[in-house]
Amino acid sequence: MYYKTKIIDTVRIPPHRFEEPLEEVTFDILNETYVGKIDKKLGQMLTVIDIENIGVGKVIMGDGAAYHEVTFNALFFKPELQEVVEGEVIEIAEFGAFVRIGPMDGLVHVSQVTDDFITYDAKKRVLVGKETNRRLEEGNRVRARIVSLSLKEEGKIKIGLTMRQPGLGRLEWIEEEKRKSKK
């Protein structure tokens, strides 16, 4: 899920950037400092959307830089447990499929792809259902549910996904099931 969040923080403007427009410098420094960082409560920061207020700068003796209190809005991506997400399969491995959901990747373990027994074709890098012959390969669009989640501030992200429920799976499989249920 994407969230817009208001943040108040202090930004250090180095002396060599004093002649540049304050809002541009502040915008650059905020993006350099925070973009890509993970906060357990907020998720991963994607970008600074806008700056609402830049307070009067204070110079600290011995530093020479100006410190400004800044209020800004930022865009975060935070996956939630049980959230249904759509993404693209970016890699197939013997143990499952990695799916890109927003700026993060999740794993659908082979046991969570379908109710069918899954085999891995190493030459074609594809997961194949034994009875249904359904195939999952790189580039496929899928819908999955987040069943496990670990966001650590050091940047370690683990997202477990399942596609073993009605309405989940490769998008073509979902459409196929819809057509069958209408007959």
Residues 59-113 have pLDDT tens digits of 988 888 999 999 999 999 999 999 999 999 999 999 999 999 989 999 999 999 9
Domain count, the chain: 2
Q: Residue 154: pLDDT above 80?
A: no
Are 65 and 92 in a shared domain? no
Are 72 and 106 in a shared domain? no
Rounded average pLDDT over 9-14: 96
Are 94 and 64 in a shared domain? no
Would you state the pLDDT for residue 101?
95
Going 136 to 140 to 145 to 150, the CA torsion angle's sign is positive
Would you state the pLDDT for residue 16?
94
pTM as predicted: 0.82
Are 21 and 39 in a shared domain? yes
151 band by pLDDT with thresholds 50, 70 and 90: confident
Which of the two residues, 172 and 154, has the higher pLDDT score? 172
Rounded average pLDDT over 14-38: 94
Instruction: Output the domain CATH number for residue 47.
Output: 3.30.1490.120
Q: Which of 20, 46, 77 is the last residue of a domain?
A: 77
183 band by pLDDT with thresholds 50, 70 and 90: low
Are 97 and 157 in a shared domain? yes
Instruction: Output the domain CATH number for residue 112.
Output: 2.40.50.140
How many CB atoms lie under 10 A from the CB of residue 68?
Answer: 20
Are 88 and 170 in a shared domain? yes
182 band by pLDDT with thresholds 50, 70 and 90: confident
Q: Which of 26, 61, 77 is the last residue of a domain?
A: 77
Token output for 69 = 């209190």
Would you state the pLDDT for residue 157?
87
57 band by pLDDT with thresholds 50, 70 and 90: very high
Are 28 and 97 in a shared domain? no
Would you state the pLDDT for residue 77?
94
Are 116 and 72 in a shared domain? no
Are 25 and 73 in a shared domain? yes
Domain with 152, as residue range(s), is: 84-182
Are 95 and 20 in a shared domain? no
Q: Which of 77, 102, 117 is the last residue of a domain?
A: 77
Q: Residue 32: pLDDT above 90?
A: yes
Are 71 and 89 in a shared domain? no
